[in-house]
Structure 1
Amino acid sequence: MDGFVDPYVDPATGILRNRVGARTRAELDRAEGDLSFAAMIELRQGPMAPRTTTTTGG
Structure 2
Amino acid sequence: MAVPKRKTSKARRDKRRRSNERMSNPTFVECPQCHEPKLPHRVCRACGYYKNKEVISVD
TM-score, normalised with respect to structure 2: 0.26
Higher relative contact order at CA 8 Å, sep ≥6: structure 1 or structure 2?
2
Give TM-score, length-normalised by structure 1.
0.27
Task: Identify, as 1 or 2, the structure richer in helix.
Answer: 1
